[in-house]
Amino acid sequence: MEKDQKQYTSISKQALRRLPYYLNYLKRLRESGVDKVSSTMIAKEMSLNDVQVRKDLAAVSKIGGKPRKGFDIEELIMCIESYLGYNNINDAILVGAGHLGRALLSYTGFEDYGLRIVAAFDIDENVVNTNIGGKIVFPMDKLSDICNRLNIHIGIITVPASAAQSVCDLMVESGIIAIWNFAPVHLSVNENVIVHNENIAESLALLSSQLAARLNQKKNNLCIKENPV
């Protein structure tokens, strides 16, 4: 292998979560006419350590920053999108065309992140055969056939907790190997299936706890100012 060639390396979950934020910042810079960026600029924008940013970029890009000039933004965007798979659109299906499901079906930004929802499924006869966000809602008995015909590997679950496991099982039987689960329940799957849980209740509980702590801190600081020793 040539010395100037560089292979991608595995990165931590924390670093993986930072990459979309880097990408959004880089795209904003590109839109404003900037073509070069340094790791220091990114670190300052993200309130991160400069060394950490350099490590993240080195893990996912085959290009290096040039002294006094930094990284070429267009090349860096391409590298990050390639690493995240954003330039390879993946088709997905969604089960559960309720309020949350409708919101996801109507969101037009998923394709920017490499995801395209091609169809939805539901048991409600009032919803079946309707069009939501340009996607047809099919009855559940069509799920396996459509997944197999379209070679779908990603499933999104937006059904009540009581129905989530049965929906998950049907998805797996239909060839789904990656599940984005919005139902507030733990799904039981085999080791070959990837599940990412989007627990809104957990996030809200964490936010509320942090808010309470921040308000309590402000209250204590105010008491100290009003009653100095």
Domain boundary among 67, 84, 101: 84
Tell me: do 119 and 208 sit in the same domain.
no
Tell me: do 149 and 182 sit in the same domain.
yes
pLDDT value for 88: 67
pLDDT(220) > 90: no
Tell me: do 228 and 164 sit in the same domain.
no
Residue-number span of the structural domain to which 174 is assigned: 90-198
DSSP 139-190: EGGGHHHHHHHHT--EEEE-S-HHHHHHHHHHHHHTT--EEEE-SSSPPP--
Flag whether 5 is in a domain: no
Tell me: do 102 and 151 sit in the same domain.
yes
pLDDT value for 63: 64
Q: How many domains does the chain have?
A: 3
pLDDT(165) > 90: yes
Tell me: do 60 and 130 sit in the same domain.
no
C-alpha dist (Å) from residue 105 to 67, 101, 132, 194, 201 = 45, 6, 6, 21, 21
Distance CA 54, CA 13 (A): 16
pLDDT value for 229: 57
Tell me: do 178 and 119 sit in the same domain.
yes
pLDDT digits (tens, 9 = 90+) for 181-198: 999 999 999 999 999 999
Helical (H) or strand (E) element with 183? none
Flag whether 45 is in a domain: yes
pLDDT value for 214: 87
Q: What angle do CA 195, 82, 16 make, to 5 degrees?
A: 45
pLDDT value for 227: 67
pLDDT(33) > 70: yes
pLDDT value for 191: 92
pLDDT value for 1: 36
pLDDT value for 6: 42
Tell me: do 225 and 192 sit in the same domain.
no
Flag whether 7 is in a domain: no
pLDDT(4) > 60: no
Tell me: do 97 and 194 sit in the same domain.
yes
Higher pLDDT, 97 or 4: 97
Distance CA 117, CA 225 (A): 55
Tell me: do 95 and 173 sit in the same domain.
yes
pLDDT(65) > 70: no
pLDDT digits (tens, 9 = 90+) for 120-142: 999 999 999 999 999 999 999 99
Domain boundary among 84, 101, 121: 84
Domain boundary among 37, 57, 84: 84
Tell me: do 137 and 185 sit in the same domain.
yes
pLDDT digits (tens, 9 = 90+) for 135-162: 999 999 999 999 999 999 999 999 999 9
pLDDT(221) > 80: no
Flag whether 167 is in a domain: yes
Flag whether 194 is in a domain: yes
pLDDT value for 145: 95
Question: Any idea what the CATH number is for the domain that residue 40 is in?
Answer: 1.10.10.10
Tell me: do 79 and 99 sit in the same domain.
no
Tell me: do 44 and 31 sit in the same domain.
yes
Give the Cβ contact number of residue 86 at 10 Å. Answer: 20
